[in-house]
Every structure is written in structure tokens, then in C-alpha cells.
């Protein structure tokens, strides 16, 4: 029986307990990777592990944690190093929406929380993961973003600003590592049937949106792709229409 495409690869997925992060974790596991699943919700992680076991016969490594907690990602990097010695695939899907409100009405504590989760934790994750990715033969890092990063809309200020900064951060990091084996990509899933989308658009029919499971094959493809610098985003809708990577 031939190996699966990601056999023996170590994949760390944040936001893995639900939505796109969960779909990515399950798809990577089905493709042969050992998944290190990170999320705040222990119960959600355990449900993911049950699903991975049912599909593959193997378990995931579960890490219940708040990625914005001081020092948490440093400890995670150390734990991955001690157990695996490397990281082959990073999928950073964890994010929060924050308040949908005029910029002038945003409370400082809400602004700080969005930036802590969506931006500062991303920097700390890059800082922690880079040495582990350097130890891989074919390291790939996939960061989830949004059209709001480059197409601002009223009331989406904290979320859009945090994702715009994330895109700048990832592109800067990728440029710094151009001469290494590490390749990064910004993945724009668009509107999907997730809890975050329901919070943002409560009157929308969720059945009119793609299920997060549909993006799993694209994540697996990106984990194997020969990527250039992330000068443009990989857009799920474009990939789905074309049946292949629309941008890399």
C-alpha cells in the first residue's frame, strides 16, 4: 500500500477545535500527517481526536491553550522540539472576530484582545516555529487571512486591521527566509459555514455557504506545493473554480 502524501509529516494547526482549523487538521491527518492540534476548547479537541482516530486509526497530539497567553507559544515550541525535533507544516487558523462596531466605539480592552489573538500571537508563533521549520526538509506555513485585510468595510475595523497587519508580517517573514527551505502562504477562505461567520452575519443562511470541510484538500495541496513568495493570496473560491491553485 503506497504511503499517503503527508506520511510522517508533523503538522501543527491552531484553531483546530472547530471551523476551518478543524477541517484543516482532519484533512492533514487523513493525508498521513501527525497533527498537533491547538485550541482553547478541550472538548472540541477531543472530538477532533475521535474523528481523526475513526478516519486514520491514529491519534493526534492535543494542546488546549489560549495562544494569546503570555509565554504559551514559547512553551509549545519547546514541547514540539522535545517530542518531534522539527515541524513540517504550520497552519495558523486561530483568530477572533472582535466587535462589529464603529472604530470610534471600540473599547480599548476589545481592541487589545483582537490584536493579541490575531496579530501578536501570530508573531510569537512565527518566532517559536521558525527553528522547528528550519529542521524540516520541506517546511510549509499556511496563514489564514481575509478579504477585509485589503477591502475594508464599515464596522469591521479591529478584525480587518489585525489581518492586514498579519499579511504584512507574513510577507516580511517570507522575504527574510527566501534563501531557506521555508515557504509561507496566505490563504483566503472567504465566507464559510463557521461560527465566526454566523456571529458576523446573523441573518445569513448558513446553508448558502461552503462547509469548511471543502477547504481541506486545498490545505493538503498547499502543504506539498512548490510555493514562491506570498505576493498574492491563495483564494479558495478561485481554486475551487479552477480545480487547482489559483495563486502561489
Catalytic positions, please?
A: 159
Q: How far apart are CA 76 and CA 86, in angstroms?
A: 12
Q: Is 201 helix (H, G, I), strand (E, B) or coil?
A: coil
Cell of residue 101, nine digits: 462596531
Report the alpha-carbon angle 181-148-234, nearest 5: 35
Closest CA to 200 of 239, 122, 148, 240: 148
Q: How far apart are CA 230 and CA 184, in angstroms?
A: 7
HSE-up of residue 92 (Cα within 13 Å, Cβ side): 29
Q: How far apart are CA 137 and CA 5, in angstroms?
A: 14
Amino acid at each position: 500500500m503506497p504511503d499517503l502524501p503527508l506520511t510522517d509529516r508533523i503538522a501543527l494547526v491552531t484553531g483546530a477545535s472547530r471551523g476551518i482549523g478543524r477541517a484543516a487538521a482532519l484533512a492533514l491527518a487523513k493525508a498521513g500527517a501527525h497533527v498537533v492540534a491547538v485550541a482553547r476548547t478541550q472538548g472540541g479537541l477531543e472530538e477532533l481526536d475521535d474523528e481523526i482516530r475513526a478516519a486514520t486509526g491514529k491519534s493526534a497530539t492535543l494542546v488546549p491553550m489560549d495562544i494569546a497567553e503570555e509565554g504559551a507559544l514559547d512553551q509549545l515550541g519547546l514541547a514540539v522540539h522535545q517530542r518531534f525535533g522539527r515541524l513540517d507544516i504550520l497552519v495558523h487558523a486561530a483568530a477572533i472576530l472582535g466587535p462589529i462596531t464603529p472604530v470610534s466605539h471600540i473599547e480599548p480592552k476589545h481592541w487589545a484582545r483582537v490584536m493579541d489573538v490575531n496579530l501578536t500571537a501570530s508573531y510569537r508563533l512565527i518566532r517559536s516555529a521558525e527553528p522547528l521549520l528550519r529542521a524540516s526538509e520541506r517546511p510549509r506555513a499556511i496563514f489564514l487571512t481575509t478579504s477585509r485585510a485589503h477591502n475594508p468595510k464599515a464596522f469591521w475595523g479591529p478584525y480587518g486591521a489585525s489581518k492586514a497587519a498579519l499579511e504584512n508580517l507574513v510577507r516580511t517573514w517570507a522575504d527574510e527566509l527566501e534563501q531557506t527551505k521555508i515557504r509561507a502562504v496566505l490563504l483566503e477562505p472567504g465566507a464559510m459555514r463557521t461560527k465566526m461567520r454566523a456571529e458576523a452575519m446573523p441573518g445569513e443562511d448558513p446553508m448558502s455557504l461552503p462547509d469548511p470541510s471543502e477547504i481541506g484538500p486545498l490545505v493538503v495541496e498547499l502543504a506539498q506545493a512548490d510555493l514562491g513568495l506570498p505576493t498574492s493570496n491563495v483564494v479558495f473560491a478561485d481554486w475551487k473554480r479552477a480545480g487547482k491553485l489559483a495563486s502561489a
